Amino acid sequence: MNSSDIPHQHDSMRKINKQPVFPAILAIPVASIPEKHSATVIVKSLNLMLAQALDDGDLDFLEDNNVSVNIIDLKLKFGLTLNHKKLRASQWQANDKLNLSGNLYDFMLLASRKEDSDTLFFNRRLKIQGCTNLGLEVKNLLDGMDMDTVRFHKPLDFALHHGIKVFEKLFR
């Protein structure tokens, strides 16, 4: 091995370890959708997918608590709360009761369970700020949710796992 191989190997390792990021230029259409509309679509989708968990009371800890989510690289911000066993869209606020933020790739890893929440939060790839107890409840929900109770979990799992592979190939 000669010395000219070392920087090349270092660059290769950096590319391997680098997390994919959604390109800013592709996020422009998402950022142009008014927050109210994107939050409504997201919350309606979550109500449909999480109907069983909502009926079982698994999300009752969210009752009247606002949670704001910021998917940084996608330039997507939305808020949600629980009211009478239904998730409702709320306005995103920087200092909400609980704020979750991170890049799309890391949220995809979390949703697909390819990476556990402890690793993502400990490595600060996903950030959680605000009420500690509410944050722990959300983290425990994410860790303990039985995916078989999530409506459409099979097509969702398929889309997430293949989406992650495509995401890695295109944006790493």
Has residue 108 been placed in a domain? yes
d(CA 101, CA 103) in angstroms, rounded, equals 7
Per the structure, the complete domain to which residue 48 belongs is given by 21-171
Has residue 138 been placed in a domain? yes
pLDDT value of residue 138: 92
Render pLDDT for 3-54 as a digit per residue (tens, 0 to 9): 445 454 444 333 445 899 999 999 999 999 999 999 999 999 999 999 999 9
Has residue 16 been placed in a domain? no
pLDDT value of residue 48: 96
Has residue 10 been placed in a domain? no
pLDDT value of residue 10: 40
Has residue 11 been placed in a domain? no
Has residue 2 been placed in a domain? no
Q: State the distance between the two ends of the chain, measured CA to CA, in whole angstroms.
A: 27
pTM listed for this prediction: 0.86
Render pLDDT for 109-151 as a digit per residue (tens, 0 to 9): 999 999 999 999 999 999 999 999 999 999 888 888 888 889 9
Give the closest residue to 168 by CA, choosing from 120, 127, 100, 108.
108
Instruction: List the CATH number of the domain containing 66.
Output: 3.30.1050.10
**DSSP class of 1:** -
pLDDT value of residue 47: 97
Has residue 84 been placed in a domain? yes
Domain count within the chain: 1
d(CA 101, CA 71) in angstroms, rounded, equals 6
Give the closest residue to 38 by CA, choosing from 49, 51, 27.
27
pLDDT value of residue 15: 43
pLDDT value of residue 17: 56
Has residue 7 been placed in a domain? no
